[in-house]
Amino acid sequence: MTELKTAIDLNPSTSVASEDYLEQILNLVTEKGYARVIDIATNLGISQASVSNMVQRLASEGLVSYEKYRGMALTPEGEKIAQAIIQRHEALSEFLRLFGLDELDIHRDVEGMEHHVSSPTLRVFQVLVEELQRRPKLVEKVVGRIHES
């Protein structure tokens, strides 16, 4: 059983796009040890120029340390926001997986939801996951009802 952490509040002034970039940077640094504009552009399916502009904006907001042509790192505040988004993503994904939904559907749905779920609502999902994991028969019953009709 996965132990879920208490939700971290996001900065309400951070845009959905900014959050996506911060999440990408953290994932790349975790995976590869570094994040480059080209990698972010490839992962998000956008131009390198757009990524450069956003990264410069994030740097001016104190969320990213960036040197042109060299790469970037998250500041402590940027990492805090990225961790919160990843935590939301994981909690929502885990909740939906309980019901046997298709991974592609889960991914698409969670990408839309993760930026808009408040900490109190996320905590509800976390507690539901914990309780449902302890009650597999209830999950089976719910899945059965989902597939009725």
CATH of domain 16-79: 1.10.10.10
Top-confidence residue, 93 or 6 = 93
CA 130/CA 133 separation, integer angstroms: 5
> pLDDT, tens digit, for every residue of 45-60?
999 999 999 999 999 9
Q: How many CA atoms lie within 13 A of 48 on its CB side?
A: 8
Q: Identify which of 138, 132, 110, 133 has the alpha carbon closest to the alpha carbon of residue 122.
A: 110
Burial of 122 (0-12, 13-18, 19+ CB in 10 A): buried
- The identity of residue 18, as a single letter, is S
Is pLDDT of 29 > 80?
yes
Residue 39 DSSP symbol: H
Instruction: For the chain, give every residue range classified as CATH 1.10.60.10.
Output: 87-146
Q: Which residue spans of the chain are classified as CATH 1.10.10.10? A: 16-79
Look at the domain 87-146 and name its fold: Diphtheria Toxin Repressor; domain 2 (1.10.60)
Beta strands in the chain (DSSP E): 64-67, 71-74
Per-residue pLDDT reduced to its tens digit, 97-135: 999 999 999 999 998 888 888 889 999 999 999 999 999
